[in-house]
């Protein structure tokens, strides 16, 4: 893959209770806040309120654009069932340019 200059495409990683990721994914895509969301079943281990927890979760890999990040993050907070939802934003620094153009087109029109 040929290196491409930094793009405005970004990835948001978020986990939800197992089975809850589909609703969030559909809303984000239908509202053009994400071009695509990959949903993967995962097992998470974490400390919560002093206890070691183990949960079966859905991992969402949300493809969006930096221009819509504040709105996308706000919407995830509104519809997410967790008290403190995970939202980690990763900038896309390179990629297949036709794919990146598709992401931009699906979100920005």
Report domain 9-108's class: alpha beta
Q: Which of 9, 42, 39, 40 is nearest to 24 (CA)?
A: 39
Rounded to a whole number of angstroms, the distance between the first and last alpha carbons of the chain is 26
For residue 7, the model assigns a pLDDT of: 65
Q: Where are the domains of the chain?
A: 9-108
Which residues are CB-neighbours of 6 under 8 A, at least 6 positions away?
A: 91, 93
For residue 34, the model assigns a pLDDT of: 98
H helices within the chain, ranges in order?
21-30, 69-79, 97-108
For residue 105, the model assigns a pLDDT of: 94
Report mean pLDDT in 10-residue bins for the chain, 109 residues. Answer: 63 97 98 98 96 97 96 97 96 93 94
| Contact (Cβ atoms closer than 8 angstroms) between residue 33 and residue 69 | no
| Contact (Cβ atoms closer than 8 angstroms) between residue 81 and residue 26 | no
3-state class (DSSP) for residue 1: coil
């Amino acid at each position: 893959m040929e290196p491409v200059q930094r793009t405005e495409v970004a990835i948001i990683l978020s986990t939800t209770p197992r089975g809850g990721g589909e609703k969030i994914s559909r809303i984000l895509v239908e509202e053009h806040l994400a071009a695509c969301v990959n949903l993967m079943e995962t097992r998470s281990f974490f400390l919560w309120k002093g206890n070691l927890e183990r949960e079966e979760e859905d991992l969402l890999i949300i493809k969006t654009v930096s221009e819509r990040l504040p709105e996308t993050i706000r919407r995830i907070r509104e519809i997410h069932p967790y008290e403190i939802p995970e939202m980690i934003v990763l900038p896309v620094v390179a990629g297949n340019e036709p794919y990146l153009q598709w992401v931009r087109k699906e979100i920005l029109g």
